[in-house]
Amino acid sequence: MDDIIVKSITRIIIPFVQLYGIFIILHGHVSPGGGFSGGALFGTSLILYTLIFGVDKAQKKFSHRVSEIAESGGILIYLSIGVIGIFTAGYFLSNKAAGFPLGEAGSLLSGGMIPLLMIGVGIKVASTMVTLFHTLIMEERL
């Protein structure tokens, strides 16, 4: 899209959208939101970048290599946190029994494994949205 207004506005709002997405992911246990909604926000900002600046520049920011790592990394974070529970408590995905510090309720560092799982889910959802969009766009070009 070759419009100076749209490009400038997009450059201004993308950092805020991404910051808000990360905020929602990290504060999933103390405020409404969580991994899915925050990841969707973050992915939407990258989709906006692709729409405005074209898929070639977006591929430089979020290449297939990065998407491979993010796709498998998100689910591996989730699974490895679950496996910690097997060794410490005897049950997969156990939170308090596995020895995760619960912290002070209401603060950012609370909830044991919940924020860590939210980070994994957020990475997964964001990268899924972007990868689906990029794959569909690249397919159209062929």
Partner 1 sequence: MRKWALRILFFMLFMLMSYSVLQMPGDIGLDSPAYNEATHHYIEESLGETGAINIIASILTDYRAFDTLGETIVLFTSIIAVISILRPSAKPEEEEAPTDG
Q: Least CB distance from residue 101 to partner 1, whole Å?
A: 8
Q: Tell me if 26 contacts partner 1 by CB under 8 A.
A: no
Q: Tell me if 108 contacts partner 1 by CB under 8 A.
A: no
Judged by CB under 8 A, the number of residues near partner 1 is 41
Instruction: Indicate the residue type of 5.
Output: I
Q: Tell me if 122 contacts partner 1 by CB under 8 A.
A: no
Q: Tell me if 135 contacts partner 1 by CB under 8 A.
A: yes
- Quick one: which of 128, 89, 137 has its CA closest to 112? 89
- Report how far apart, in Å, the C-alpha atoms of 55 and of each of 4, 11, 63, 68, 90 are: 18, 16, 10, 17, 47
**Using CB under 8 A, which of 34, 41, 47, 52 touches partner 1?**
34
Q: Which residue matches tokens 């070009």?
A: 141
Interface of this chain with partner 1, residues 79 to 98, rule: CB under 8 A: 79, 82, 92-93, 95-96
The DSSP 8-state label assigned to residue 101 in this structure reads: -
